[in-house]
Chains A and B, each alone.
Chain A
């Protein structure tokens, strides 16, 4: 009895409109596979990477600038994708770097989502001055480029955090900075959807029986506004990954001892025209593949969730 119920559930998900749409879209499948491969590689980096590039003691400066798949004349080491200027294995650094990129990306988006959804629900449901206040804050923030806001937050954080803590806290500051620069789009969308749902009769039915407004927001309205949020979230993830890379490229992201994909690109950019192309190329391809895959998944999700197109 329980076995058939299980297969019933899985079959229902497999057969649902969304899963069907996924199966039918080659772009979605390819993007999904690429993204999955990169994510899994990043998650299992400590186990599959040949070396740990974040351990300064394992580095040998003599390994520096070794081209891919060539034996280093001094140390005898071979690196699949070459070594960067400090002797770090590019492949391992990509794996560990992707880890950071993904962690920061996901966390920042999650932070932005929680902040944005809360603000949107509140503004949409309460209306009046609460709505006006939140939306004006959002408007002000939108008039600044998000990277500038992130830099601003960095500067402020630098003033607060004692130098000894800066390296460990860098990641968290990064997450907060990117998240704070990104919450507005979630808030806008959720606000609009909340205002639509607020007028629907099922919300009025809950109000008639005296359900507490907070409960109405969380249990009735929130599930119904999540659709567009998921779409923006996926695209926001891609943007957050790129934002982290940009900030690291500018030198204000992750600390230099824990390079992410952006850091590698910055390093590689300096040596591109002097011949050590591999330091730039491989991280750049990885970043591109990841961001593109996530973006395409977001596009597919948006079309799949659009009831008109079904």
Chain B
């Protein structure tokens, strides 16, 4: 697909969580691995907002870190702007690094408390050598205004700002290297609701103005519905469904998506009937065989306990469920 900006295929990441060697020898235990993500494939088109949604253990943060290069994949490929990141193309990482940036979840830990705001925002510019001298400070002042702060904040320290303001500083830092693609890892989860609205609006405005592409990681379905064009749902490291944003909420194709939607509190007090949520997310070190969701799935059949479902085409996108797709849909009444 020529217009896909990011292409991820078969992305897998294992973590070695074995006990120390001596303990293993004494207790006669095998090495144990945690599969954080398993065979995840998706695309992000230029200019769109693609969201990855999931609960703890879903692997969404791991995927984000692998895309920006903070973690190396154990398997699979990542292609950014047509260049495949890997040992065959050593220059690829440096080339694409300047085209992407990341915004983190914790506004208190994502800014160095000992640096002034001006230096924090200028760091990407200086690292990539984009501007120099007095131009750097002028650009920093401009960026502060763009994100809704004032140019006079340049000399202040992060602790003088509130959570929402710090997130704006983080956004200004992300913009300073003029990226085309920004990975947003739970950018508003740590913020109050009214501040969240401000930040989300800001992100939308910036996307319109600068033609940015976003990968939005979140656990909050309502936020994702508001911001994303397409959504991928993760469960225990596997991508269970990918669909158009608006349609995902109306016709979910995977039983886990349906369960997530049921769990969202009903703010409109419409008194909608909710199916009670069963069970809990299993331990990722020892996932259930076959489809990881089958112990909690109301529609599980024998095949689900044995065979990991491959993604199947559905009216809204793809879903990894034996019962989804062309023959049967799971959007039960």
Contacts and interface: CB of A to CB of B under 8 A. Distances in A.
A223 interface: yes
B314 interface: no
A206 B106 contact: no
A223 B97 CA distance: 26
Nearest to B65: A204
A207 interface: yes
Interface string A171-209: 000000000000000000000000000001110111111
Nearest to A204: B70
Contacts of B123: 206, 209, 211
Nearest to B174: A205
Interface centre among A204, A206, A220 (most CB of B within 10 A): A204
Interface stretch (B78-86, B108-116, B242-250, B277-285): B108-116
B177 A201 contact: no
**Most A-side CB within 10 Å, residue of B68, B112, B128, B177:** B112
Q: Which DSSP category, helix, strand, loop or mixed, fits chain A's interface? A: helix
A211 B123 CA distance: 9
B110 A209 contact: no
Interface residues of B, number: 26
Given A201-B104, A201-B105, A201-B106, A208 B113 contact: no
A209 B123 CA distance: 9
B25 interface: no
- A-side interface size class: 10 to 19
A205 B119 CA distance: 13
B102 interface: yes
B75 interface: no
A209 B104 CA distance: 14
Nearest to B114: A223
Interface in B80-109: 94, 97, 100-102, 104-106, 109
B70 A201 contact: no
Nearest to A203: B112
26 contacts: A200-B109, A201-B106, A201-B110, A202-B109, A202-B111, A202-B112, A204-B65, A204-B70, A204-B104, A205-B102, A205-B104, A205-B110, A205-B173, A206-B123, A207-B70, A208-B69, A208-B70, A208-B97, A208-B100, A208-B102, A209-B97, A209-B123, A209-B128, A223-B115, A224-B113, A224-B114
A128 interface: no
A200 B114 CA distance: 14
A211 B101 CA distance: 13
Given A202-B109, A223-B115, 9 more contacts: A201-B104, A204-B102, A205-B170, A208-B100, A209-B101, A211-B127, A220-B112, A224-B113, A224-B114
B76 interface: no
A210 interface: yes
A224 B157 CA distance: 14
A-B residue pairs, 3 tightest by C-beta = A201-B110, A201-B104, A223-B114
Interface string A220-231: 100110000000
B129 to A, nearest CB: 12
Contacts of B110: 200-202, 204-205
B124 interface: yes
Contacts of B115: 220, 223
Contacts of B124: 209
A224 B106 CA distance: 17
Contacts of B65: 204
Contact of A201 (B69, B97, B100, B109): B109
Given A201-B104, A201-B105, A201-B106, A208 B68 contact: yes
Contacts of A211: 123, 127
Q: Which of A205, A223, A224 has the most CB of B within 10 A?
A: A205
Contact of A224 (B69, B112, B127): B112
A210 B105 CA distance: 20
Nearest to B103: A205
Interface in A93-150: none
B166 to A, nearest CB: 11
A202 B127 CA distance: 15
A199 to B, nearest CB: 9
B69 to A, nearest CB: 7
A17 to B, nearest CB: 11
Nearest to A226: B114
Contacts of A224: 112-114
Interface string B167-198: 00010010001000000000000000000000
B240 to A, nearest CB: 27
A204 B106 CA distance: 12
A212 to B, nearest CB: 9
A118 B41 CA distance: 42
Contacts of B111: 202
Contact of A210 (B97, B102, B170): B97
Interface in A10-33: none
